[in-house]
Structure 1
Amino acid sequence: MDTNKINELAKILRQNQLTKLDLTEGDSRIVLEAAGGRSVMVDIPVENVPVENTAEISAETVPVVDKAEEQSEAVEQRSPLVGTVYLAPQAGAESFVKAGDKVKKGDVLCIVESMKMFNNIEAELDGTIEAVCVDNGQIVEFGQTLVKILP
């Protein structure tokens, strides 16, 4: 694959604010991932790469958006970085927050581990936790909703 094509794909990735672009062409596969504002390019020869059949999407895999969720006034607290989210300070401990809990600005909602650094994610406003949108140990993307807070 020539470098001009790779540069064009990286440009498409940035312009569309995509986090990942995976392309197979002949016996070559290229994966571009956004990483902290730069694109990482990896050229991998194709050898028994499983291909997902996207034509077989069932109704169970399509998310259903509830009308109540659309009209909710909840503020989405988003992850400021990519990493692994922890909902409790240590294994077996009670979660920092759960749905229905009252929080004040600055209260710790969860921890996001990134590159061996543990980052406390604090509430941006006072309110009530409407929903915790991630699971303990889940890998989260930059900007992914962690919790919803009703002011």
Structure 2
Amino acid sequence: MKINKKIIKELSDYLEEFNLTELEYTEKDTKIKVSKNNISVTNQNIPSQKTEINNLDDNLSKKTKTGIEVKSPIIGTAYHAPEPGAKKFVEVGKKIKKGDTVMIVEAMKTMNHVPSTADGVVKEICVEDGQPVEFGQNLLILD
């Protein structure tokens, strides 16, 4: 069996270009699997997975905002206004009181109003209008 180095080189380039960790290519009876974690195709300095995780942790800690976090009570789709084109519930800089509706999270065709958990001024809106959200995901940060 002849190994086609050109295909392996191409696949390893795709790993970098598309920020993938593994890629598999099959043609007829030939199967090639290239992975950052298991093999090194060239002598390039490829960062280890542990290094990448440490860098992510550093970046997250730098981006962590201080303030009161208002989190999503359910999984669904977050909306900033009661209907398309209507006035948004909150804007950055707006003063809100505990219990005020800050967003709607739609789940299974049910619109769930999300109340503020504290008094404060909106420092940051963490999700885009119409964006899917997870349980416990930050929706707002208050000062």
TM-score under structure 2 length normalisation: 0.58
Shift of 1:71: 6.5
Match of residue 53, structure 1, among 20, 25, 36 = 20
Q: Partner residue of 2:126?
A: 133
Gaps in structure 1 of 5+ consecutive residues: 1-50, 57-61
Give the number of the structure whose alpha-carbon radius of gyration is greater.
2
Offset from partner CA, 1:44-89 (integer Å, 9 cap, x none): xxxxxxx971469xxxxx694575x5472x1111101000000011
Match of residue 142, structure 2, among 130, 134, 149 = 149
In the alignment, does 2:117 pair up with 1:124? yes
Q: Partner residue of 1:35?
A: none
Q: Which has the higher helix share?
A: 2
After superposition, the Cα gap between the structure-2 partners of 1:71 and 1:85, relative to the gap in structure 1 and judged at 3 Å, is closer
After superposition, the Cα gap between the structure-2 partners of 1:117 and 1:71, relative to the gap in structure 1 and judged at 3 Å, is closer
Gaps in structure 2 of 5+ consecutive residues: 1-17, 22-35, 37-45, 47-55
Q: Partner residue of 1:103?
A: 96
Shift of 1:149: 1.1
Q: Which has the higher strand share?
A: 1
TM-score under structure 1 length normalisation: 0.55
After superposition, the Cα gap between the structure-2 partners of 1:86 and 1:106, relative to the gap in structure 1 and judged at 3 Å, is same
Distance 2:85 2:104 in 1: 15
Q: Percent identity?
A: 41
Superposed structure 1 runs of 4+ greater than 2 Å apart: 62-67, 69-72
